[in-house]
Amino acid sequence: MIGFKRDSKKDEEDGGGNPFQNLEKTTVLQEARTFNETPVNPRKCTQILTKILYILNQGEILGTVEATDTFFAMTKLFQSHDVILRRMVYLGIKELAPIAKDLFIVTSSLTTDMTGRENLYRAAAIRALCSITDGNTLQQSIERYMKQAIVDRNAAVSSAALVSSLHMTRFAGEVVKRWVNEAQEAINTDSIMVQYHALGVLYHIRKTDRLAVTKLVAKLTKSTMKSPYALCMLIRITCRLIEEDDVGTNSKLFEFVQSCLRHKSEMVIYEAAHAIVNMKKTGARELAPAVSVLQLFCSSSKPTLRFAAVRTLNKVAMTHPAAVTACNLDLESLITDANRSVATLAITTLLKTGAESSVDRLMKQISSFVSEISDEFKIVVVKAIRALCLKFPRKHSVLMNFLSAMLRDEGGLEYKASIADTIITIIEENPEAKETGLAHLCEFIEDCEHTSLAVRILHLLGKEGPRTKQPSRYIRFIYNRVILENAPVRAAAVSALAQFGALCADLLPNVKVLLARCQMDTDDEVRDRATYYSVILNCNDAVLNNRFIVENTHLSLPTLEKSLHQYTMQPSETPFDARTVPVAAISPSEEARLAAAEEISTKPKTAIATMTREETYAEKLRNIPQLAALGSPFHSSPAVDLTESETEYLVKCVKHVYERHLVFQFICTNTLNDQLLENVHVHLDPLPEGFVVAANIPCQRLPYGEAQSCFTVLTFPDVLAISVGSFGAVMKFSTKDCDPATGLPDSDDSYDDEYMLEDLDVSVADQMQKVAKANFAASWDEAGDENELEDVFALTSMQTLDEAVKNIIQFLGMQPCERSDRVQEGKSSHTLLLSGVFRGNHDVLVRAKLALSEGVTMQLAVRCSDPEVSELVTNSVG
């Protein structure tokens, strides 16, 4: 439903006043008592119901009691036969259903209406009924009416029943499944909507059963369905099958999609074209007819068709540039389209595929109306510019100017963030653009209303500023924030200042003075940071600076919090040792951002700290007494499958690594509904030398369909060199036969059984945590060459540098630094820099010099305070 805007004052001024303005919840609910009066006054009650719906849509919240009272009063209105009032009652019921209690009391009244003679009631009553019912009532009192309604001759009734069925699968999937015959019958009707909705239900019922879907599609693609909506949906289902089964373009399925390009309905034609260009594996031959359809639509007189076509082309511009270039002429004619959305998409599509020479012209065109388009489309423009910058680095100044102009315009957070993101990407990609980019950002934060964005930019200035030719010019911008902004921004500014102090000796005295002033701030966090940095900077120790200012210590915050809490609960003489807290893994989203090439998420980063995999597991492991004693896991690997996907039992394994212990968590699922497994555990055999099983924590009961865990705790060998290896595994358990319907065992008889699992490997990567270093060189020097181990390897199986880089990163489980995971095209040598922390809190740094020559040659240097670790890392690569 379209929300009304509370603050749209303008509408109210020129609309002669909104009669519902300034409604008070309490007054409205008071008025609702009128519902209890007899005889019912339909006009008045309709009015009041309208008010209730209005305030609910304004976001007013009713309590359970208020809602239930109102709901009960509303039920009295069933005595009126006024059609309009009754339909308002249905709406009221649907709105109150999620809050009020005892909804079932209208069940009979609604079933009467849905089966009654008044056609104006029936469809709406079904919808209301669907919102108040639960699985039990559905099965006991309503099921047969639903079945009848699905095959009703009245299309509105049938559609309502089908759509409601879909909604009800949420809580009564099993019941709805039984209506498959009715849905099947409904799909053969003449009504366009009914056919569409019936297909929706049929597909939903069968979608987890691949074979059934294949049959459904095979049958329907042969029949000729009348409904264009149903056909569009069928095309989507077919495409999913094609992609999943990887059947390629020669199949009957693909033929069907292609045949839809010749359908008489534009909707179907478009859907087919859209599907074909979006398929992963379409070749030029299959693409051509689809693209010519889109091309035709580009010059349609209907704006919707033009929009759809150009939007689709825009999306696939990067994947199928050739196809889009074929439409260049048509796109050119759209850049002056009266519809600004169409024009924007046309221009940005051309930008994505066009030549360097056309950039200036297109940018000029788009500047002429950029202020007229909505944020959403401005973001499309920004994305196109980002792609352009990556493609034509030399154009950065034109594009950067354009971006900074956009930055100065009005706009929402998401839009501004996408611009800032783009500028940041450009800076990172293109050293030449760095200084101008930073300058634009500095200017932007002078007048930036979005705290989160200002904080990010300040962080970037702190990171990049000290390494520019003239760091001093940034100090003023940063310090201005300290004077003018709110506390979070001031705190970020303090941190940024400290970076300059640590890295630029000539600025140090100034920074110290500024930080001293910040220690007088009114905000705790700002003062704390200022004090912290001042103390460190006053030591004048480069190693300290590097370790505590330039490199952030990435401790796992939730675990740190837990540990500190525990420490304060049991005070002791010894100071708290931060080294007992595991370092935080780089979270996947962060990782994605660091590695991002084309797509940087434009969503503002959420403020809530997302938990890493380790932290989520740590929560759960702490609840198991035998494991709690081990503390928090240092590293948890992603789950690996130990069984094929369609077997009796599914077993996944997660490896949790502690300082001295290794815990295998086996997540088991029993897919046999006539079996109950008990005492499930995994026996490891053979065990690599040196590993000792310390404990086995079986899973007591494993009923059908639930995922449960059992654990095996091992101690690592004392000698590091043999701490990697491969384990044999067998799942052992005792089985009871049981009744599939209830899941209860038939008798107490049980028999022992076992099930072979795939082998399990423990590698270096499992014992390593990724940790980024902002200044690799400083850390490398700090580690010192006395702890270095070096060796040369020939990686004969690797064909390209890129492949070698990916493999080494994956193999060692370490974090690439200074964007060294990206190999520049055409280069024949590359240096990969990795950093990580090995279990036991050993910092590990790796420098791998790669060169192409009959495969890849690698000169590997490892620096770590523990020579055993260096040796393990080196050996495992070989």
Q: List residues binding other proteins (CB under 8 A).
A: 36-39, 72, 75-76, 78-79, 81, 102, 104-109, 111-112, 137, 141
* Closest to other proteins by CB, 101 or 620: 101
* Closest to other proteins by CB, 72 or 369: 72
CB 764 within 8 A of CB 724: yes
CA distances from 566 to 48, 569, 570, 617, 778 (A): 57, 5, 6, 19, 35
* Closest to other proteins by CB, 108 or 333: 108
Closest approach of Cβ 43 to other proteins, in Å?
17
Closest approach of Cβ 135 to other proteins, in Å?
14
* Closest to other proteins by CB, 110 or 461: 110
CB atoms within 10 A of CB 840: 16
Closest approach of Cβ 49 to other proteins, in Å?
17
* Closest to other proteins by CB, 39 or 98: 39
* Closest to other proteins by CB, 143 or 782: 143
Record the tokens describing residue 588, joined without a space.
């996947």
Sequence-distant (≥ 6) Cβ neighbours of residue 629 within 8 angstroms = none
Closest approach of Cβ 102 to other proteins, in Å?
8
CA distance 664 to 656: 6
Closest approach of Cβ 60 to other proteins, in Å?
25
The DSSP result for 765-816, as a single string, is GGGEEE---S-HHHHHHHH-GGGEEEEEEEETT--SHHHHHHHHHHHHT-EE
* Closest to other proteins by CB, 79 or 299: 79
Record the tokens describing residue 480, joined without a space.
């201005």
In the three-class reduction of DSSP (H, G, I as helix; E, B as strand; rest coil), residue 820 is classed as coil
Tell me whether the omega of the peptide bond preceding residue 39 falls within 30 degrees of 0, making it cis.
Answer: yes
Place of tokens 């006539």: 674
Closest approach of Cβ 174 to other proteins, in Å?
21
Strand bridging mode 635-636 / 768-770: unpaired
* Closest to other proteins by CB, 39 or 571: 39
* Closest to other proteins by CB, 100 or 503: 100
The DSSP result for 509-562, as a single string, is HHHHHHHHHHTT-SSHHHHHHHHHHHHHHHTT-HHHHIIIIISPP-B-HHHHHH
* Closest to other proteins by CB, 93 or 832: 93
- Nearest Cα neighbor of 771 from 817, 724, 828 is 817
Closest approach of Cβ 41 to other proteins, in Å?
12
Record the tokens describing residue 844, joined without a space.
């590990």
In the three-class reduction of DSSP (H, G, I as helix; E, B as strand; rest coil), residue 290 is classed as helix
CB 838 within 8 A of CB 724: no
- Nearest Cα neighbor of 349 from 395, 394, 309 is 309
* Closest to other proteins by CB, 119 or 552: 119
CA distance 150 to 162: 6
Strand bridging mode 707-715 / 788-795: unpaired
Class of residue 63 by CB neighbours under 10 A (exposed 0-12, middle 13-18, buried 19+): exposed
* Closest to other proteins by CB, 96 or 241: 96
In the three-class reduction of DSSP (H, G, I as helix; E, B as strand; rest coil), residue 4 is classed as coil
Sequence-distant (≥ 6) Cβ neighbours of residue 710 within 8 angstroms = 665, 666, 668, 680, 681, 682, 696, 697, 698, 699
Which amino acid, 152?
D
The DSSP result for 187-200, as a single string, is TTSS-HHHHHHHHH
CA distances from 534 to 463, 481, 531 (A): 18, 18, 5
- The torsion angles phi and psi of 306, rounded to 5 degrees, stand at -60, -45
- Nearest Cα neighbor of 759 from 681, 643, 875 is 643
Closest approach of Cβ 664 to other proteins, in Å?
50
Closest approach of Cβ 86 to other proteins, in Å?
11
Closest approach of Cβ 114 to other proteins, in Å?
13
* Closest to other proteins by CB, 78 or 793: 78
Residue 727 C-alpha from the chain's centroid: 34
* Closest to other proteins by CB, 75 or 328: 75
In the three-class reduction of DSSP (H, G, I as helix; E, B as strand; rest coil), residue 789 is classed as strand
CB 187 within 8 A of CB 201: no
* Closest to other proteins by CB, 33 or 215: 33
CB 861 within 8 A of CB 789: yes
* Closest to other proteins by CB, 36 or 552: 36
Closest approach of Cβ 125 to other proteins, in Å?
13
* Closest to other proteins by CB, 68 or 436: 68
CA distance 182 to 203: 13
Closest approach of Cβ 197 to other proteins, in Å?
26
CA distances from 167 to 128, 170, 200, 531, 740 (A): 12, 6, 11, 58, 27
Closest approach of Cβ 115 to other proteins, in Å?
8
Closest approach of Cβ 176 to other proteins, in Å?
20
Class of residue 325 by CB neighbours under 10 A (exposed 0-12, middle 13-18, buried 19+): middle
CA distance 566 to 559: 10
Closest approach of Cβ 78 to other proteins, in Å?
5
Closest approach of Cβ 40 to other proteins, in Å?
9
* Closest to other proteins by CB, 72 or 704: 72
Q: Which residues pair with 856 in a beta bridge?
A: 795, 852
Closest approach of Cβ 163 to other proteins, in Å?
22
How many degrees, rounded to 5, is the angle at CA 511 between CA 507 and CA 515?
Answer: 175
Record the tokens describing residue 699, joined without a space.
């899973």
CB 481 within 8 A of CB 493: yes
Closest approach of Cβ 141 to other proteins, in Å?
5
